[in-house]
Amino acid sequence: PPQHAAELATPASKLAVKGVNSNKTTTTIDDMLGQWDTFRFAPIRESQVSRAMTRRYFQDLDTYAESDIVIIGAGSCGLSAAYVLGKTRPDLKIAIIEASVSPGGGAWLGGQLFSAMVMRKPADAFLREVGVPYEDEGNYVVVKHAALFTSTIMSKVLAMPNIKLFNATCVEDLITRQALDEGEGVRITGVVTNWTLVSMHHDDQSCMDPNTINAPLVISTTGHDGPMGAFSVKRLVSMQRIEKLGGMRGLDMNTAEDAIVKGTREIVPGLIVGGMELSEVDGANRMGPTFGAMALSGLKAAEEALKVWDI
Ligand code: AHZ
Atom of ligand 1 nearest to the CA of 75: 19
Nearest residue (CA) to ligand 1, atom 17:
73
Which ranges of the chain does DSSP label H, i.e. alpha helix? Answer: 2-9, 12-15, 29-32, 46-64, 76-88, 124-130, 146-159, 196-199, 231-238, 253-263, 277-282, 292-309
Q: What's the gap in Å between 137 CA and the centre of ligand 1?
A: 27
C-alpha–C-alpha distance, residues 47 and 4, integer Å: 12
**What average pLDDT is seen over the chain?**
92
User: Ligand 1 centre and the CA of 276: distance in Å?
Assistant: 7
Mean pLDDT, rounded, for 98-119: 97
pTM: 0.93
pLDDT of residue 1: 46
Q: What does the angle CA 45 – CA 51 – CA 52 come to, to the nearest 5 degrees?
A: 90
Choice from 98, 197, 257, 297 to test ligand 1 binding pocket (greatest atom count within 8 A of CB):
98
**Residue 104 Rama label (left phi>0; alpha psi -120 to 50; beta):** left
Q: Does pLDDT of 206 surpass 90?
A: no
Ligand 1: distance of its center to the CA of 95 in Å? 17
**Residue 16 confidence class, pLDDT cut points 50, 70, 90:** very low
Q: Whose CA is nearest to atom 38 of ligand 1?
A: 291
Taking the C-alpha atoms of residue 21 and residue 13, their distance in angstroms, rounded to an integer, is 6
Cα separation, 226 vs 115, in Å, equals 23
Lay out the sheet containing 217-220: strands in order across. 163-167, 94-98, 69-72, 217-220, 271-273, 265-268
Query: What is the predicted pLDDT for the residue at 85?
Result: 98
Q: How far is the CA of 303 from the centre of ligand 1 (A)?
A: 20
**Terminal-residue alpha carbon distance, the chain:** 59
**Which DSSP letter does residue 219 get?**
E
**Which of the pair, 209 or 6, is modelled with greater confidence?**
209
pLDDT band at 4 (very low <50, low <70, confident <90, very high): low
- Omega of the bond leading into 2 within 30 degrees of 0 (cis): no
What are the b/e assignments for 27-62, b being 16+ CB within 10 Å? eeeeeeeeeeeeeeeebeeeeeeeeeeeeeeeeeee
pLDDT in tens, 227-265: 779 999 999 999 999 999 999 999 999 999 999 999 999
Q: Which of 136, 110, 143, 106 is nearest to 121 (CA)?
A: 136
Report how far residue 224's alpha carbon sits from residue 287's, in angstroms, rounded to the nearest whole number.
12
Confidence band (pLDDT; 50, 70, 90) for 3?
low
Q: How confident is the model at residue 149 (pLDDT cuts 50, 70, 90)?
A: very high
* pLDDT range class, residue 13, cuts 50, 70, 90: very low
Ligand 1 closest atom vs CA 193: 11
Is 270 in contact with 230 (CB distance < 8 Å)?
no
ipTM for the assembly:
0.99
The pLDDT tens digits for 152-177 are: 999 999 999 999 999 999 999 999 99
**297: pLDDT strictly greater than 90:** yes
Ligand 1 shell residues, CB under 6 Å: 72-78, 97-100, 105-107, 170-171, 221-224, 228-229, 231, 275-276, 286-288, 291, 294
Q: What average pLDDT does this structure show over 284-288?
A: 97
Distances (CA, A) of 31 to 25, 28, 38: 12, 5, 12
Contact present, 150 and 77 (Cβ < 8 Å): no
Q: For 273, what's the count of Cα atoms within 13 Å in the CB-facing half-sphere?
A: 25
Print the SS3 string covering 171-213.
EEEEEEEECCCCCCCEEEEEEEEEEHHHHCCCCCCCCCCCEEE
- How many angstroms separate the CA atoms of 186 and 202, rounded? 26
Sequence length of the chain is: 311
